[in-house]
Structure 1
Amino acid sequence: MNFNRNENRTGEWNGLKFIGLPFTYAAAYVIQFVFQQDFQEGTTYFTFLPNTSFLTFGELQSTGSVQVVQWTDEAPAWEVYSKMVHPPCGPSAICGKNKSLICSCLTGFVPQSRDEWSKGNWTGGCVRRIELLSQQKGNISSSGVGLQDGFLKFSGLKLPDLAAIFRLDSASECERLCLNNCSCTAYAYVARIRCMACSGDLLDMQDYSYSGEDLFLRLAYSELGNYYINLVYNNFTM
């Protein structure tokens, strides 16, 4: 086990489930979670109610990965129902499922090392093709006004790690907060959690097509092309 990093991350709790768990986990456990918090006593309890319709248990392996094992009457045997492992992708890359390549760069990003990427070593992650306006010097249009950064929407993702949470009342407020913060690189607005703003590298993202959240990635104006900033764009490029 590597004690210098988190091997697994469930994501934030939204009052019903952990948003960083894939669909298979949520479907099996969402109705069983019980979260109780007593601010006066300063205590928090997280438990789950047993579902007697099937037999299952969670197993923490020596490698740090976690898997859910379920009894199958047809076999009959214990079978791995789902497994959580630390994704091999570095910053600004998405770990996907059922794809020819495990990792892919976000739109507007390219591999940090194309040589290592071609060898299947994705730990270096991806870097921006074009810097953000706040990172550039003298980026002024002919009219004297800088071309403002915008956002591109990705759907069905496990959101990046280390996001700061702000209790804002709308997605538009969250967008303004991110745009006005030079260090903000992406944001998400999740029900019951509200505004989640990311700074710096975007880490530990995964493709959860059927159960993930929407992420709005900050990109330079020229990277957005003629697309509206609220366009759903699910094609990941390398």
Structure 2
Amino acid sequence: MWAITPEELVAIKLSLRVATVAMLASLPVGVFVAYLLSRGRFRGKFILDGLVYMPLVLPPVVTGYALLLLFGRRGPLGAFFEQTFGIVFSFRWTGAALAAAVMGFPLMVRAIRLAMDAIDRRSEEAAATLGASPIWVFLTVTLPLSLPGIIAGAMLCFAKALGEFGATITFVSNIPGETQTIPAAIYTYTQTPGGDAGALRLSIIAVALAFGALIASEVLSRRAGQRRAGFE
């Protein structure tokens, strides 16, 4: 009952791959968007704010369908990426990573933004008065002080990506060995007679991976927070 089958092992490896790629691909954009929302003063800021958090309130199937329209082979962005970079998203693991990144992005941005909002602006102002450019202030002051939030946001995105199901299955379906992640494999087991044992095995593994990601986030954030305290 507790022996992991080769198919389940493939699903586990694919989930880790998808979650890792989703987290790493989202991180630079997440830091940039969080900085815009925290420090930016521009028209339409509330629109950007709403767009960032939209995946949290939309049904995941709606998000997945929007990705299919945009990044499918006949979609404008999907055709562009395929013709320009040779990257295909629809019904591929890359599409699963994209869907997971979109769903985890709001959690990442929120954690990083809260960390940036908590920074004492006087530290940034002091660096600026010493002649540092805005980019140098960001790299040497804002970014290091935001590190706990960045770590927390990255790990939250990773954990969310591990558990993403609705948008993924809508966008890239449930193809064993290609797009079947842990949640999709669990769903398949629940629809299969006698699949309870497999569903239970993968559910336990999913809980362990998600819990491990959250614990790692807490530990790394605390260490970064201690370094931040020393920096300040």
TM range (shorter): under 0.3
Give TM-score scaled by structure 1 length: 0.22
Of Structure 1 and Structure 2, which has the larger fraction of its residues in helix? Answer: 2
Looking at secondary structure, tell me which structure has more strand per residue. Answer: 1
Greater RCO (Cα-Cα under 8 Å, separation 6 or more): 2
Q: TM-score, normalised by structure 2?
A: 0.23
